[in-house]
C-alpha cells in the first residue's frame, strides 16, 4: 500500500512537471522575443558593428528565424519532446552537449559549497541555539549577518587578492584538481549559504529544544549529544532541508558571479553569455535544464521529509 | 600586363606608423630565440567556434590564426600585405583578377599537402548558403558567386585552378579592398571538414604554426607546436589560451606569473606604464579604433549640422582622455586614427570651444538649449564617459539624460533609427574604404550607417577610392571624404584607443598590432628561460 502510494505520488509529481516545462519554455521564448537585440547583428561583426544584409538573411534562414514566431516555438517544443534542444547560434554546437559539458564543473562547485555551508552552518546554528543570548550566540549571529550581506564578487576578489596574489598559496582562478582550484570558489559561494543555514538552524533548534519530548529524552537519561543530534536536530531539520533544497537548486543552476570571478566553466556563464547574444536555443536549453533540476531537487526534498518525520505519508 | 602586387605606402606614412607603433624593447632583438616553453595568454570569453567560416569575433580569430594559414597576411608593423601560404600574387591589368601561387610543401596537420583545390574548396564552402558565413561578404562579388549562392551553379566560375599550386580569382567589380579579404581566408582541408561535420568548429584541423590539442569549454584552448610548419618550427612548444572573463582576475593571474601577457584597460594602464619595473615590458600602439558618439542626423535638432558641430565643440576631449581614460587614448580629430595609412595630420577637427558651441546653438535657434538622450552600453567605463559628456554638454545648455542599456539593445535601436545618440567604437581594417563604411549612404541602418548620414560627394569619393589600386590616390580620396564627414559631424569624434599590453620580463617577440593587439604572430614569440 505504501509503495503504491509512493508510486502514485511520483507519477503525479512528474505529470505536474509537464506544464511547468511548457510554461518555462514559453516564458523564456516570449521574453527573448520581446527583448530588443537581434542575434544576427550581435553575432556577425563584433568589431565593426556592421551587418551584411545578404549574410544576415542566410543566417536567419539557417536558424529558422524566417518562420512565424509561433511556428518557431512549436518546432522547438516538438524537438525538445524528442530530446533535441537544437543547435546554438553562437557555437554551432549541440545545446544539450554544451550544457552537459559544463554541468560537472557546476555540480562540483555546488557540492563543495554545500559541504562548506553544512559543515559550518549547522554546528554554528546548533551551538548558537544551545547557548542562546551568550556571547557566542551574538558573535555567530553577527558572523551570519556579515556572511549573508557580503557580495560574492567582493569576497571572491578579496580571497584572490589575499590567498593568491599576496600569499601565493592558491592559484587565482581556473578549473582543475579540487585542491587547489576549488577551495576559493567553494568558500566564496559557501560563505553566504553557511550564514543562511546557521541562522535557520538556530531558529529552528530554538523552537525544538523547548518541546516536551526533548525534556522527556533528558529525563530518560539520554546523553546530551543523543538528545541534540538524534531528537532535536532531526526534528529541526525539515525547514533547513527545504531551504537547502532551494539553495542547492540555485547553485546547480550555475553561480554566474562566482563562476566569472574564478573563471569557473559552469552552466551559469553559459546561460548569461547566451542571453547576451540572444542565442535563443542555448538560453532556452539552459532554462529548461535548470527547471529540471529545480523539479528533481524539490522532489528529493519531499522524499526526505518522510525519512525525517515518519508521520509524513505520500498519498 | 600583369605585375607583382607590392602595395605602395607613402614613405612619410610608413615613418609615422613606425614612429607611433609600439615595438618590443630594443635589446630583445639582439637575443637569440629560445625554444620550448608553455605560453599562456588570455581570452575574455569562450571563442564559441574555431571553424574559419564561423565566429567573426576577436577572441575566435586570435586562436584560429594560429591553427590555420591564410593566402596573404597583414604585416602588423607596416599594415602592408605580405605573403602567407601564397608566396606570390599578381593582379591583372583590369584589376579584377588575382592570381595566387601557393608555396610547395605546405602541409595540413593531417599530413596532406595543401594545393590550389583546397583554396577553391575553402572559398566555395564559405559562400555556400548552408554555411551561412559572415565572412562571405568579402567574396560574394567574385564572378559566379551569386549564381553559386542561389544554387544555380555547382561551383564558383570566377575561381579557376590553373595547376596544382596556382589559382586565379576574378571579381565582378574593381574593388581595391578585395585582396585584403585573403588575409582572413583561412584554408581548410576538405576531408577533415567532411569527416568532422559540425564538429570541425570544435576540433579544427589546419596548417598553421600550432596544432589543435584540446578545448575545455569556458576554461582553456590548448595548442601545441607544429614541428613541420613551413615557416619553421615555432619557438614555444605549447600555447594555452586561458578563458578569463573578469579583468580583475586576469590581473591577478598576470601578477602571479600565470599569464605571459595581458591587455591593459584604462583602469590598469597607469599601474604598469608608470611602474619602473614594468614599463619596459609595456607595448602600446594607436589602435584602428575610433570612439565616437553616433548622431542620428534625421532626428531634430540633430538634423541641423550646427547643432552637431556644437556638440563637437562643447566637449573637452583632451581633458576626458587625460582624466577618465588615464591617457590611454589619443584625442580624435577625424575618422582615421594615427596608425592608419589615411591619417591626416593636418586635419584639425574640433577643439574644445564652448563659446563657439553656444554661438552655433544660438544660430540654430536653440538659445535655451535642448534636451538630449545620451545612449551607451552598460559597462562602467561607458558610464564614466557618459557622465563626462553630460557635464560638458550642460555647460552649453544641452540637457543630456544618460540612458545605459544592453549593448545589443542599443545597437538594435540605433540601427532602426529609434535613438538620437549612441556611444560606440568603430574598428576597422587598414583599408581606408572599409574604414569609411559607416558613412556610405548605401549602408544606412544596421549595415553600419546608423547615423542615416548622406552626402553625395562623400559617396562619390569613397566609390572612387574603392575602385583605385593606386594607394596614394586612394588615401587622398579617403582623406577628402573624411574632411567632408568631419564638417558634417554625423559623429562626435571622441578618441582613438591606445591598445596596450604588458608582458612578463622573459617574453620576447610580441608586437604592437594596430588592427587588434591580440592578433599576435605567436610563431615568432619566445620565452627566455629564467636564470
Residue A303 CB partners (closer than 8 Å, separation 6+): none
- Count of CB contacts below 8 A, A vs B? 165
Residue A29 CB partners (closer than 8 Å, separation 6+): A72, A73, A76, A280, A284
What pLDDT does B16 receive? 40
SS3 B85: coil
CA B181 to chain centroid, in Å, comes to 13
Q: Which residue has the cell 538556530?
A: A202
Minimal Cβ distance to A265: which of B218, B255, B428: B218
Length of chain A (residues): 315
| Contacting residues of B for A43, CB less than 8 Å apart | 56, 134
Subunit contact A101:B217, Cβ cutoff 8 A: yes
- CA proximity to A185, closest of A263, A99, A273: A263
Task: Identify from B446, B449, B516, B517 which residue to disrupt to test chain A contact, counting A C-beta atoms within 10 A and taking the largest count.
Answer: B446
Residue B54 half-sphere exposure, CB side, CA atoms within 13 Å? Answer: 21
Number of neighbours of residue B114 by Cβ within 10 angstroms: 23
Average pLDDT over residues A174-185: 93
**Which string of DSSP letters, residue by residue, matches B217-267?**
TTTEEEEEE-TT-TT---S-SEEEEEE---HHHHHHHHHTTS-SEEE--HH
Chain A nearest C-alpha distance from B73 (Å): 19
Chain B nearest C-alpha distance from A87 (Å): 10
Minimal Cβ distance to A91: which of B49, B248, B415: B49
Subunit contact B132:A51, Cβ cutoff 8 A: no
Subunit contact B137:A55, Cβ cutoff 8 A: yes
Q: Which helix (H) or strand (E) holds B395?
A: helix B380-395
Task: Identify from B203, B242, B252 which residue to disrupt to test chain A contact, counting A C-beta atoms within 10 A and taking the largest count.
Answer: B252
Do B525 and B236 touch, CB atoms closer than 8 A?
Answer: yes
Top pLDDT among A18 and A173 is at A173
Do B352 and B313 touch, CB atoms closer than 8 A?
Answer: yes
Minimal Cβ distance to A263: which of B54, B244, B516: B244
| Cell numbers describing residue B519 | 592578433
| Contacting residues of B for A266, CB less than 8 Å apart | 218
| Contacting residues of A for B55, CB less than 8 Å apart | 90-91
What pLDDT does B221 receive? 98
| Contacting residues of B for A41, CB less than 8 Å apart | 408, 411-412, 415, 446
What pLDDT does B30 receive? 45
Subunit contact B132:A44, Cβ cutoff 8 A: no
What pLDDT does A165 receive? 95
C-alpha radius of gyration, chain B, whole number: 24
* Rounded-to-5 percentages of helix, strand, coil across chain A: 75, 0, 25
Distances in Å between the Cα of B240 and the Cα atoms of A173, B44, B140, B220, B221 are 15, 13, 35, 7, 6
CA nearest to B49 within chain A = A91
Subunit contact A58:B129, Cβ cutoff 8 A: yes
Of the pLDDT bands very low, low, confident and very high (cuts 50, 70, 90), residue A45 is low
Subunit contact A46:B58, Cβ cutoff 8 A: yes
Chain A nearest C-alpha distance from B176 (Å): 19
Chain A nearest C-alpha distance from B335 (Å): 13
What pLDDT does B281 receive? 97
What pLDDT does A231 receive? 85
Do A265 and A259 touch, CB atoms closer than 8 A?
Answer: yes
CA nearest to A272 within chain B = B45
Residue B159 CB partners (closer than 8 Å, separation 6+): B119, B120, B123, B124, B142, B144, B167, B168, B169, B170
Residue A241 half-sphere exposure, CB side, CA atoms within 13 Å? Answer: 19
Does A27 have pLDDT greater than 60? Answer: yes
What pLDDT does B4 receive? 41
Subunit contact B258:A44, Cβ cutoff 8 A: no
Top pLDDT among A3 and A100 is at A100
- CA proximity to B334, closest of B316, B319, B348, B314: B348
Of the pLDDT bands very low, low, confident and very high (cuts 50, 70, 90), residue A62 is confident
Spatial distance between the Cα atoms of B474 and B263, rounded to a whole number of angstroms: 33
Average pLDDT over residues A55-79: 86
What pLDDT does A4 receive? 76
Task: Identify from B150, B217, B220, B222 which residue to disrupt to test chain A contact, counting A C-beta atoms within 10 A and taking the largest count.
Answer: B217
| Cell numbers describing residue A272 | 548569461
Chain B nearest C-alpha distance from A121 (Å): 28
Spatial distance between the Cα atoms of B21 and B514, rounded to a whole number of angstroms: 8
β-partners of residue B370 are B398
Do A141 and A199 touch, CB atoms closer than 8 A?
Answer: yes
Average pLDDT over residues A23-49: 77
Give the predicted TM-score (pTM) of the model: 0.88
A229-286 confidence digits (pLDDT tens): 888 888 888 888 888 888 888 888 768 899 999 999 999 999 998 988 889 999 999 9
| Contacting residues of A for B437, CB less than 8 Å apart | 48, 50
Length of chain B (residues): 531
Do B521 and B511 touch, CB atoms closer than 8 A?
Answer: yes
Spatial distance between the Cα atoms of B336 and B431, rounded to a whole number of angstroms: 10
The tens place of each residue's pLDDT in chain B, 531 residues long, gives 333 443 334 433 433 433 444 444 444 444 678 888 999 999 999 999 999 998 888 899 999 999 999 999 999 888 889 999 999 999 999 999 999 999 999 999 999 999 999 999 999 999 998 888 888 888 999 999 999 999 999 999 999 999 999 999 999 999 998 999 999 999 999 999 999 998 999 999 999 999 999 999 999 999 999 999 999 999 999 999 999 999 999 999 999 999 999 999 988 999 999 999 999 999 999 999 999 999 999 999 999 999 999 999 999 999 999 999 999 999 999 999 999 999 999 999 999 999 999 999 999 999 999 999 999 999 888 999 999 999 999 999 999 999 999 888 898 899 999 999 999 999 888 999 999 999 999 999 988 899 999 999 999 999 999 999 999 999 999 999 999 999 999 999 999 999 999 999 999 999 999 999 999 999 999 998 876
What pLDDT does B2 receive? 37
Chain A nearest C-alpha distance from B367 (Å): 36
Spatial distance between the Cα atoms of B253 and B243, rounded to a whole number of angstroms: 11
Subunit contact B218:A48, Cβ cutoff 8 A: no
Percent of chain A's residues with pLDDT above 90 = 36
Spatial distance between the Cα atoms of B529 and B531, rounded to a whole number of angstroms: 6
The sheet carrying B3-4 orders its strands as B3-4, B86-91, B97-102, B166-170, B159-163
Chain A nearest C-alpha distance from B428 (Å): 6
What pLDDT does A254 receive? 67
Spatial distance between the Cα atoms of B312 and B498, rounded to a whole number of angstroms: 21
Question: What DSSP character marks residue A150?
Answer: S
Amino acid at each position: 500500500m505504501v509503495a503504491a502510494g509512493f508510486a502514485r505520488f511520483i507519477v503525479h509529481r512528474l505529470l505536474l512537471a509537464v506544464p511547468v516545462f511548457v510554461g518555462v519554455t514559453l516564458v523564456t521564448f516570449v521574453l527573448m522575443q520581446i527583448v530588443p537585440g537581434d542575434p544576427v547583428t550581435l553575432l556577425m561583426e563584433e568589431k565593426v558593428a556592421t551587418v551584411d544584409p545578404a549574410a544576415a538573411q542566410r543566417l536567419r534562414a539557417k536558424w529558422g528565424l524566417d518562420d512565424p514566431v509561433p511556428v518557431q516555438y512549436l518546432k522547438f517544443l516538438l524537438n525538445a519532446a524528442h530530446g533535441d534542444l537544437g543547435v546554438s547560434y553562437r557555437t554551432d554546437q549541440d545545446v544539450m552537449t554544451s550544457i552537459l559539458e559544463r554541468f560537472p564543473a557546476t555540480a562540483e562547485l555546488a557540492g563543495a559549497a554545500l559541504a562548506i555551508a553544512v559543515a559550518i552552518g549547522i554546528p554554528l546554528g546548533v551551538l548558537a541555539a544551545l547557548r542562546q543570548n551568550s556571547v557566542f550566540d551574538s558573535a555567530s549571529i553577527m558572523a551570519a549577518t556579515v556572511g549573508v550581506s557580503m557580495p560574492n564578487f567582493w569576497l571572491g576578489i578579496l580571497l584572490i587578492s589575499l590567498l593568491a596574489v599576496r600569499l601565493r598559496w592558491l592559484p587565482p582562478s581556473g578549473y582543475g584538481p579540487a585542491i587547489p582550484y576549488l577551495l576559493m570558489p567553494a568558500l566564496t559561494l559557501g560563505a553566504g549559504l553557511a550564514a543562511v543555514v546557521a541562522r535557520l538552524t538556530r531558529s529552528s533548534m530554538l523552537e525544538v529544544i523547548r518541546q516536551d519530548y526533548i525534556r522527556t529524552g533528558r529525563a530518560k537519561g539520554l546523553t546530551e549529544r543523543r538528545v541534540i543530534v538524534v531528537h532535536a536536530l532531526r526534528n529541526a531539520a525539515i525547514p533547513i532541508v527545504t531551504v537547502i533544497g532551494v539553495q542547492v537548486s540555485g547553485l546547480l543552476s550555475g553561480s554566474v558571479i562566482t563562476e566569472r570571478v574564478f573563471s569557473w566553466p559552469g552552466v551559469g556563464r553559459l546561460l548569461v553569455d547566451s542571453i547576451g547574444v540572444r542565442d535563443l536555443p542555448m538560453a532556452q536549453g539552459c532554462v529548461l535544464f535548470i527547471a529540471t533540476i529545480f523539479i528533481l531537487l524539490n522532489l528529493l526534498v519531499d522524499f526526505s521529509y518522510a525519512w525525517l518525520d515518519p508521520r509524513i505519508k505520500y498519498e | 600586363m600583369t605585375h607583382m602586387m607590392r602595395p605602395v605606402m607613402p614613405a612619410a606614412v610608413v615613418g609615422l606608423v613606425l614612429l607611433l607603433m609600439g615595438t618590443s624593447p630594443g635589446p630583445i632583438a639582439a637575443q637569440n630565440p629560445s625554444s620550448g616553453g608553455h605560453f599562456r595568454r588570455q581570452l575574455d570569453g569562450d571563442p564559441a567556434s574555431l571553424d574559419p567560416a564561423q565566429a567573426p569575433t576577436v577572441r575566435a580569430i586570435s586562436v584560429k590564426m594560429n591553427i590555420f594559414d591564410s593566402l596573404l597576411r597583414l604585416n602588423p608593423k607596416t599594415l602592408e600585405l605580405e605573403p602567407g601560404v601564397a608566396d606570390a600574387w599578381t593582379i591583372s591589368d583590369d584589376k579584377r583578377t588575382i592570381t595566387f601561387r601557393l608555396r610547395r610543401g605546405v602541409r595540413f596537420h593531417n599530413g596532406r599537402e595543401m594545393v590550389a583545390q583546397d583554396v577553391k574548396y575553402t572559398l566555395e564552402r564559405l559562400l555556400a548558403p548552408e554555411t551561412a558565413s559572415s565572412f562571405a561578404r568579402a567574396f560574394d562579388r567574385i564572378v559566379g558567386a551569386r549564381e553559386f549562392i542561389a544554387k544555380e551553379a555547382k561551383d564558383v566560375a570566377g575561381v579557376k585552378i590553373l595547376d596544382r599550386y596556382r589559382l586565379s580569382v576574378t571579381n565582378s567589380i574593381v574593388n581595391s579592398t578585395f585582396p585584403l579579404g585573403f588575409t582572413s581566408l583561412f584554408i581548410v582541408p576538405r576531408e577533415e571538414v567532411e569527416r568532422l561535420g559540425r564538429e570541425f568548429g570544435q576540433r579544427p584541423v589546419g596548417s598553421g604554426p600550432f596544432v589543435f590539442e584540446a578545448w575545455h569549454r569556458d576554461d582553456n584552448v590548448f595548442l601545441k607546436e607544429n614541428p613541420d610548419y613551413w615557416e619553421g618550427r615555432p619557438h614555444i612548444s605549447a600555447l594555452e589560451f586561458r578563458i578569463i572573463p573578469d579583468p580583475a582576475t586576469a590581473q591577478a593571474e598576470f601578477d602571479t606569473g600565470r599569464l605571459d601577457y595581458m591587455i591593459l584597460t584604462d583602469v590598469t594602464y597607469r599601474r604598469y606604464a608608470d611602474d619602473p619595473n614594468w614599463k619596459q615590458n609595456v607595448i602600446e600602439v594607436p589602435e584602428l579604433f575610433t570612439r565616437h558618439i553616433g548622431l542620428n542626423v534625421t532626428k531634430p535638432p540633430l538634423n541641423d549640422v550646427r547643432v552637431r558641430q556644437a556638440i563637437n565643440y562643447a566637449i573637452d576631449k583632451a581633458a576626458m582622455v587625460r582624466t577618465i581614460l588615464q591617457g590611454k587614448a589619443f584625442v580624435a580629430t577625424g575618422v582615421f586614427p594615427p596608425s592608419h595609412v589615411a591619417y591626416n595630420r593636418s586635419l584639425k577637427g574640433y577643439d574644445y570651444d564652448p563659446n563657439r558651441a553656444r554661438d552655433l546653438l544660438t544660430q540654430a535657434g536653440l538659445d535655451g538649449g535642448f534636451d538630449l538622450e545620451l545612449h551607451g552600453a552598460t559597462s562602467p567605463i561607458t558610464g564614466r564617459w557618459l557622465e563626462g559628456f553630460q557635464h560638458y554638454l550642460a555647460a552649453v545648455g544641452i540637457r543630456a539624460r544618460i540612458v545605459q542599456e544592453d549593448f545589443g539593445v542599443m545597437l538594435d535601436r540605433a540601427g532602426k533609427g529609434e535613438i538620437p545618440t549612441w556611444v560606440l567604437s568603430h574598428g576597422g581594417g587598414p583599408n581606408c574604404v572599409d574604414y569609411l563604411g559607416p558613412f556610405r549612404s548605401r549602408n544606412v541602418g544596421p549595415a553600419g550607417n546608423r547615423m542615416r548620414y548622406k552626402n553625395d560627394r562623400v559617396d562619390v569619393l569613397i566609390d572612387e577610392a574603392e575602385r583605385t589600386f593606386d594607394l596614394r590616390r586612394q588615401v587622398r580620396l579617403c582623406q577628402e571624404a573624411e574632411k567632408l564627414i568631419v564638417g558634417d559631424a554625423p559623429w562626435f569624434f571622441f578618441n582613438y584607443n591606445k591598445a596596450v599590453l604588458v608582458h612578463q620580463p622573459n617574453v620576447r617577440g610580441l608586437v604592437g598590432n594596430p588592427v587588434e593587439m591580440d592578433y599576435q604572430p605567436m610563431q615568432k614569440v619566445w620565452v627566455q628561460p629564467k636564470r
